[in-house]
Structure 1
Amino acid sequence: MQLGTRWTAGEEPPAAVPAALRPAIAQVEEATGPAQAGNPKSRWTLTWLEGRPIAEMDSGVIVELNADGEAVVRHDPDDEFS
């Protein structure tokens, strides 16, 4: 069993975040831009499902590895912010 971790968008991801996810996470953060004044920054949560890492931003954006080991970005359609 692997435990997940959380970190604030814009900060260096923890060492537990696989290198294969980092470029896609950086692209998502660049696309979403900095937090607006008075609004808190988004946070990421890293979890593991069947041995694969999944990073999910509070906004519902998900970065995960596909079966080929490539990072893919998607949005959770069930997220309340979608």
Structure 2
Amino acid sequence: MQLGTRWPFGTQPPRSVPMQIRPGIAAAEADTVDGAGRTWTLTWLEGRPIAELDDGTTVTVEPSPGADADDDW
């Protein structure tokens, strides 16, 4: 896992937050009744971005089908 960045709920995500995950973050914020004082944390797991709100809400990108086909394990 690689640590990314943190930012406050309800603010524009930093430029380091990938575009493909931003709609999910916006949707999660729209569904949250009170996000005051909360923060998001962006991490990377197996090359995929994961944004987690400190209340446990998680937004991620689903792996594409066959994404592991080229792994040399």
**AA partner of residue 49 (structure 2):** P
Residue 22 (structure 1) aligns with: 22
Provide the rounded CA distance (Å) in 2 between the counterparts of 1:59 and 1:49: 19
Provide the rounded CA distance (Å) in 2 between the counterparts of 1:2 and 1:47: 6
What SS does the corresponding residue of 2:19 show, helix, strand or coil? coil
* Structure 2 unaligned blocks of 5 or more: 66-73
Shift of 1:68: 2.1
Shift of 1:42: 1.0
* Deviation by residue 1:12-47 (Cα, 9 ceiling, x = unmatched): 000010001101100110110344xxxx42100000
Overall identity of the aligned pairs, in %? 52
TM-score of the superposed pair, with normalisation by structure 2: 0.78
**AA partner of residue 5 (structure 2):** T
Is the aligned partner of 1:66 residue 2:66?
Answer: no
**AA partner of residue 6 (structure 2):** R
Residue 31 (structure 2) aligns with: 31
* Deviation by residue 1:33-67 (Cα, 9 ceiling, x = unmatched): 344xxxx4210000001111000000001001111
TM-score of the superposed pair, with normalisation by structure 1: 0.70
Provide the rounded CA distance (Å) in 2 between the counterparts of 1:52 and 1:3: 12
Q: How many residue pairs align between the two structures?
A: 65
- Larger Cα-atom Rg: 2
* Structure 1 unaligned blocks of 5 or more: 70-82
Structure with greater proportional helix content: 2
Q: Are the equivalent residues in 1 in contact too, given 2:2–2:45 (CA < 8 A)?
A: no
Is the aligned partner of 1:46 residue 2:61?
Answer: no
